[in-house]
Amino acid sequence: MLRIKPTNQISGTIRVPGDKSISHRAVMFGALAKGTTRIEGFLPGADCLSTIQCFKQMGIEIEQAGDRVTVQGKGWYGLQEPSSRLDVGNSGTTIRLMAGIMATQPFHVVMEGDESIAKRPMRRVIGPLRQMGAKIDGRKEGEFTPLSIRGGGLTGISYESPVASAQVKSAILLAGLQAQGETSVTEPHLSRDHTERMLQAFGVQVERDGLTVRVKGGQELQGRDIQVPGDISSAAFLIAAVMMVPGSSLLIENVGINPSRTGIIDVVRQMGGGLELLNERVVNEEPVADLLVTYAPLHGIEIAGDIIPRLIDEIPVIAVMATQAAGQTVIRDAQELKVKETDRIATVVTQLSKFGAQVEPTDDGMVITGSSKLKGAVIDSMGDHRIGMAMAIAGLAAQGETQIENDEAIAVSFPGFSELLSRISL
């Protein structure tokens, strides 16, 4: 159980763990590439370790020591048929992106995960992969795991996705790299583009035209040295911590500021918070900067539309910040929250209400009435890492102690979170 006590100030210079999305992709693409890929800044969280284990089961030699990983790639068709099921643990990124990779392989594989993964929708990925020619089945006609895939013999498609999802887009593009002809994906809004950027770093030609991205089949990847920047989704919790405690200031070094992920920066600025980008640079096609975060009184805003895919994982902690903002904060167009590790609309409302916060659910988001005086509470993360961390941040501004049950889930994306929080709390 994680115990959080109120703090008088947040201060210091820190780094956050490596970006989870980029860490997953670096291992996957390194395994599919020809030659050696060396990764520095890898996130050694449970989800990314699941990705490593799955590729080891398919004969890929991977050495991991802390945040350094070496992958001996064997090319697209160097993977071996696994002798047992691939267990993705709690990682939606692993199972959905690997579905696209497995759709290209001329063998049979079964993928499954934990109880949370068993409830998460897979047909959004399975449907277009079937259109390309992959043979895929699962519970309820492929809606749920375990997934059985026999790949190979794919044909490129032009797919209009009903949702803005980097996982859906990535699965289709990865399958398209070994499909006949051209494959394109068009989204209603731009989702994270880490796959497109990293594919280019590995030598793949990727074309973008507005909300449409295209790849041609038959392309190979070449091994690369990859520097993984700090995860802005992890940094978001510490940005929020500064905004919860008057007089606070924090420098967060080496954070990825991919434009498809920087919705949290835009929201903090729109709410009146102080956030400055320093030392901007580009590493492996990804923009990186140091973030100087300074407390300022916040005010409520409306968060909706195109910005939602750019901050979908940060909404739980944005809701926490909104409890201390003057006026109302309205979050709309965020139905995707319902199919995360938990139904994050319901979970955020339930857990924040325990603090005495004024928060009401809606069909596609929530309404938070700010300037609440929070009281310490006993919180359940519900096995969701982002819920656990968001409620820990709320505890910094609450009267009395806050206890986070099932806090082990936090290690999925932010190992060392509680120790780091203690170090910057004065």
Q: Please check whether residue 293 is in contact with residue 252, taking contact to mean a CB–CB distance below 8 angstroms.
A: yes
* Residue 265: DSSP 8-state: H
Instruction: Determine the straight-line distance between the first and last CA of the chain, rounded to whole angstroms.
Output: 21
Q: Please check whether residue 190 is in contact with residue 211, taking contact to mean a CB–CB distance below 8 angstroms.
A: yes
Whole-angstrom distance, CA of residue 335 vs CA of residue 55: 32
Residues forming beta bridges with residue 86, ordered by sequence position:
111
Whole-angstrom distance, CA of residue 278 vs CA of residue 144: 44
Helices 315-322 and 263-270 sit at what angle, rounded to 10 degrees? 10
Residues belonging to the chain = 426
Radius of gyration from C-alpha coordinates of the chain: 21
> H helices within 35-149, ranges in order?
46-57, 92-102, 123-132, 139-142
CA dihedral 275, 164, 86, 113 (to 10 degrees): 80
For residue 332, which phi and psi values (nearest 5 degrees)?
-125, 170
Identify whether 313 is a catalytic site residue.
yes
Tokens of 40: 């520095």
User: Catalytic: which of 87, 193, 231, 313?
Assistant: 313
**Backbone dihedral region of 202: left (phi > 0), alpha (psi from -120 to 50 degrees) or beta?**
alpha
Whole-angstrom distance, CA of residue 373 vs CA of residue 392: 15
Count the helix, strand and coil residues of the chain and give each as a percent rounded to the nearest 5. Answer: 35, 30, 35
254: CB partners within 8 A, 6+ apart: 15, 41, 229, 230, 288, 290
**Could you list the active site residues?**
313
